[in-house]
Amino acid sequence: MRVLLTGATGFIGHAVAQALRERGHAVVAATRRPPPGGQDHVQADFASVPSRAWWLPRLADIDAVVNAIGILREQGGQRFEALHHRAPAELFHACAVAGVKSVVQVSALGADASGHTGYHCSKKAADDVLRSLPLRAAIVQPSLVYGAGGTSAALFDKLALAPLLPFPAGGRMLVQPVHIDDLVEGIVRLVEGPPDEVATFAFAGPRPLALADYLRALRAAMGEDARQWIVPIPASLFRAGAALAGAIPGSMLDRDTADMLLAGNATQANALPALLGRAPREARDFIAPPARESARREAALDLWLPVARLALALLWIWTAIVSFGLYPVRDSYALLARVGLHGTLATLALYGAAALDLVQGLLTLAAPARWRRWNWLAQIALVGGYTALITIFLPEYWLHPYGPIAKNLPILALIALLWSLEPPARGGRR
């Protein structure tokens, strides 16, 4: 079969493309930016809503269509209404006219009359359009999808490693996570054997789990002690925290995702066991033993690096505040005099260094991605320079029982780690 696949570069779409090719099918990937010279690609920007007339000639030799386009949050020019509803609707109408043999729409569990978030409502709108058309089609509604490289999987791995979590109702809301391999196998089976008319299939794991139990299962799968302290908090406080998190670029959590999490994500009509002819994978088996340690380390970095970055920023900012006057200015001048700085030069050095520390603290919190590597290098230079000057002119501070200079060594190691984990700037030499 020749299969048109939208969202082929996404988490689910990429896995579907690989599985279809392994089954001997030809995959035509519809993407915003096809690779240069790439074959079997269609350039299509769903944000601009290609019309059904635009799609028709591109469906001429297509046997099946899989729509795996999806975003969890709106950002930039990506909007739920365009990507989840209007663009897929135009594609589905074109499929009906072109006589495409089968269509699979990857929707979401909860995209029904009970859904009220923009994510669920836009998914349901496209599902309803597909249900109205004379096609052999399947609407796949998966629960939380877990797999290597998945954004939600990374989030739940990170939450699973946290020693303490504040959650409404102590994390008792029900979820029914499904592994990406089981989801993809189900999608491929529906592509190859579509229902006679449009039908909806809930895809979920073998049984509902309390969210707290899901996190414990992931902890155990990563080799950690399954015990985790989950503190019940009011739902209103959780939503307020999610609203603040929503202001952070790249954050998965906002008001809508918080509402979806609080509502739970489980089903009593799981179609996956019958379709696969076996039980889906249990959450405790989501992480294969050979991948256990790498998954644990990646989750630990995801969890603690933002904390380390915040702590470093506060260190720079607090140092600046202290230097601006909380520490006796007379004593600061006395120290600068021992370095050979007096009068105006001492004043410039004191307040200039304080201003520089403040700038470094703010950049640690909010530097654009293209600046970060340079910012870490600047911090290494500053801390290294301060350490060298004190070593030369005030060597007795190395013997201070509180270790004010010795502490620069782990700080330098932390900054070097942050620098090394920063992705290199694009467009550099290869």
Q: What is the pLDDT of residues 23-56, one digit of tens each?
A: 999 999 998 887 766 668 888 999 999 999 999 9
Residue 105: what residue type? Q
Within 10 angstroms of residue 326's Cβ, the number of other Cβ atoms is 10
The helix or strand, by DSSP H or E, that contains position 210, with its residue range, turns out to be: strand 209-210
The tens digit of pLDDT for each residue in 221-270 reads 999 987 888 999 998 998 888 888 777 666 677 788 888 888 888 999 99
Query: Encoding tokens for residue 231?
Result: 């503190």
Residue 207: what residue type? R
pLDDT at position 429, please? 41
Give dist(CA 128, CA 53) in Å, integer: 21
- Domains of the chain, start order: 2-287 (3.40.50.720), 302-421 (no CATH)
Locate tokens 């707290």: which residue? Answer: 212
Locate tokens 């365009």: which residue? Answer: 82
pLDDT at position 249, please? 63
Please answer whether residues 55 and 91 qualify as being in contact, where contact means their C-beta atoms are separated by less than 8 angstroms: yes
For residue 322, the 8-state DSSP code is I
Low-confidence spans in the chain with pLDDT less than 50: 427-430
Please answer whether residues 273 and 289 qualify as being in contact, where contact means their C-beta atoms are separated by less than 8 angstroms: no
| Nearest partner of 156 among 212, 109, 203, 100, judged by Cα | 212
pLDDT at position 420, please? 94
pTM: 0.86
pLDDT at position 217, please? 94
CA distances to 322, 329, 330, 364, 397 from 351, in Å: 11, 10, 13, 20, 22
pLDDT at position 428, please? 43
Give dist(CA 34, CA 134) in Å, integer: 31
The helix or strand, by DSSP H or E, that contains position 64, with its residue range, turns out to be: strand 64-67
Give dist(CA 210, CA 203) in Å, integer: 18
Using DSSP's 3-state secondary structure scheme, residue 60 falls into coil
Average pLDDT, whole number, for the chain?
Answer: 92
